[in-house]
A and B are shown apart, each in its own frame.
Chain A
Amino acid sequence: AQSVTQPDIHITVSEGASLELRCNYSYGATPYLFWYVQSPGQGLQLLLKYFSGDTLVQGIKGFEAEFKRSQSSFNLRKPSVHWSDAAEYFCAVVNNAGKSTFGDGTTLTVKP
């Protein structure tokens, strides 16, 4: 069965600092991987996705993520965090039959 683990429940960073949010997945075949962001009281919005090809993918708002098959990871990064990045971040894996699994999320707090 597929699964997603986001080891960090809550991360606090200072504005302007770099950010890395961890995501580990378990899936037997090539995974389709996604990062979504959820602002308070809102639905989810796609940040970026990986299907195949270049393992470093760029997303919106200056985010990027790197797919590492050997580590079963798809960590999200941003070089310089802005106060507006405070939100909850979810990693997800979808199989080619359409079934999706989300991690429990990481809450990002940005200190001024």
Chain B
Amino acid sequence: NAGVTQTPKFRILKIGQSMTLQCAQDMNHNYMYWYRQDPGMGLKLIYYSVGAGITDKGEVPNGYNVSRSTTEDFPLRLELAAPSQTSVYFCASSSASEGAPDTQYFGPGTRLTVL
């Protein structure tokens, strides 16, 4: 199993550009998450999904969009990039245990800089 994969690893964007961060998991997990981690800070939830076709906003959704057309993939779209979106982005997935989301498995992260 590859686990959770993210592409690209690094990216530099200009202000106003758009891009999609890719995330895929091969563990057949229902739950998937997108976080951003700013320097010296914890993870802030951007969006999450409890299954294909179902997504919901997290703590910091503004400026981002997601879709979940398959169980495996959960891309994150940045429209009109701004310097405030400079961060490291982590994707994670989890299965369910006892009716609740279980351990999250994290991808290696995408380091995004907006200039």
Does any Cβ of A come within 8 Å of B113's Cβ?
Answer: no
Would you give the shortest CB distance from B50 to chain A, in whole angstroms? 5
With A43-B106, A46-B103, A96-B100 known, 14 other A-B pairs at CB within 8 A are A6-B42, A32-B100, A34-B104, A46-B104, A52-B98, A90-B43, A96-B99, A98-B101, A99-B45, A99-B58, A100-B48, A101-B59, A104-B42, A105-B42
A-B CB pair tally, cutoff 8 Å: 62
A-B contact pairs, 19 of them (CB 8 A): A6-B42, A32-B100, A32-B101, A43-B108, A44-B104, A45-B106, A46-B103, A46-B104, A49-B103, A52-B98, A90-B42, A92-B104, A96-B100, A98-B31, A98-B48, A99-B45, A100-B33, A101-B45, A105-B42
| Alpha-carbon separation in the docked complex, A107 to B50 (Å) | 31
- Across the interface, which residues of A come within 8 angstroms of B99, CB to CB? 96
